A and B are shown apart, each in its own frame.
Chain A
Amino acid sequence: MSYVAAAYLLTTAVLAVYVWTLWARQRDLRRADSGRQAR
């Protein structure tokens, strides 16, 4: 694999993982919110 491809793929992967962590945190917030309302 070329150095250029490696750099671009790695950048895309890091940003994708970070966006996934944001989605996971959003899901946890929704769960906490709905749990609080259920109580």
Chain B
Amino acid sequence: MVWLVLSALALPIGIVLALVVAPVEAFQGEPYRILYIHVPSVVTAYVAFTVTFVASVLYLWRRGLGYDRLAATSAEVGEVFLTLVLLTGPIWGKAVWGAWWTWDARLTTALILWFIFAGYLMLRAWIGPHGAAASAVVAIVGFLDIPLIHWSAVLLRTLHPRPAVFRPDPAMPGSMLAILLFNMAAFVLTYLALLGVRLRQETRRAELQAREETA
């Protein structure tokens, strides 16, 4: 509950900072403000899928159902944030590049990640916890796409800009960087709040199902 309240406070503050307080960027103008939701959504999706990856490895190693539930719920919330990335990115692209979509390496690998985890969630919906091991393998293989997405903009020639924040000398003024970091924290906080709710729901659902089966 505390996480939900904190994220409900942090998200609107972050939006006001991004839309009102952040200075206008000289080259892109107003559309650059999409950065304050696009980049935090990417970071949050990566955090969520990393949790899914670690929990899936732990499930295969220890076979604890708690790890399986953590992997599944984190993937679900991560998919929501990745959807935000794939919705806000094309809007930003249309404003700056003049095109909604281009099949360059970074955009394509991000779309592939969305399909991998959509498949993962569908697999879970069809076969349920009995297919936990199979879905853990899908999650581990799917996670390997994330380094590919990150390095695609560095190693290949793409229309998408190279990472500007996660490097020793961030290519961004302090006033913009501070607001971006605040929004990243707000988005990750929201992820934790949503994950907590989903995890409790899944644990309760499993308890009810177990009681139904023993009754």
Interface-facing stretch out of B84-92, B135-143, B174-182:
B84-92
Do the beta carbons of A22 and B31 come within 8 Å of each other? no
**Given A8-B19, A10-B91, A18-B194, A29 contacting B30 (CB threshold 8 A):** no
Interface residue total, chain B, C-beta cutoff 8 A: 29
In the bound complex, residues from chain A placing their C-beta under 8 Å from that of B208 are 29, 32-33, 36
Q: Is the CB of B83 within 8 A of A4?
A: no
Q: How far is the CB of A33 from chain B (nearest CB, A)?
A: 6
- What is the CB-to-nearest-CB distance from A38 to chain B, in angstroms, rounded to a whole number? 13
| Binary flags per residue of A22-36, CB closer than 8 Å to B gives 1, else 0 | 100110010011001
A3 CA to B91 CA in the complex, in Å? 6
Tell me whether A29 and B201 are in contact (CB under 8 A): yes
List the A side residues contacting B38 at CB < 8 Å: 7
Q: Is the CB of B37 within 8 A of A11?
A: yes
Which residues 167-198 of B have a CB within 8 angstroms of A?
190, 194, 197-198
Minimum Cβ distance to chain B for residue A29 (Å): 6
List chain A residues, Cβ under 8 A from B37: 7-8, 11
Docked CA distance A22–B33 (Å): 29
**Number of chain A interface residues as a range:** 10 to 19
Residue of B nearest to A6 (CB): B91
Residues of B within 8 A of A19 (CB): 194
The digit string for A1-21, where 1 denotes a CB below 8 A from any CB of B, is: 011101110110011001100
Please, which residue of chain A has its CB at the minimum distance from the CB of B37? A11
B92 touches A14 (CB 8 A): no
Within 8 A of A (CB), among B74-107: 80, 83-84, 87-88, 91-92, 94-95
Q: How far is the CB of B141 from chain A (nearest CB, A)?
A: 25
Cβ of B130 within 8 Å of any chain A Cβ, yes or no, is no
- A7 is contacted by which of B83, B91, B205 (Cβ under 8 Å)? B91
A36 B211 Cβ-Cβ under 8 A: yes
6 extra interchain contacts, Cβ-Cβ under 8 A, other than A4-B34, A10-B88? A3-B92, A3-B95, A14-B87, A25-B201, A32-B208, A33-B208
A-B contacts, 16 of them at CB < 8 A, read: A2-B30, A3-B31, A3-B34, A3-B94, A4-B30, A7-B37, A7-B88, A11-B87, A14-B80, A15-B80, A18-B80, A26-B197, A29-B201, A33-B208, A36-B208, A36-B212
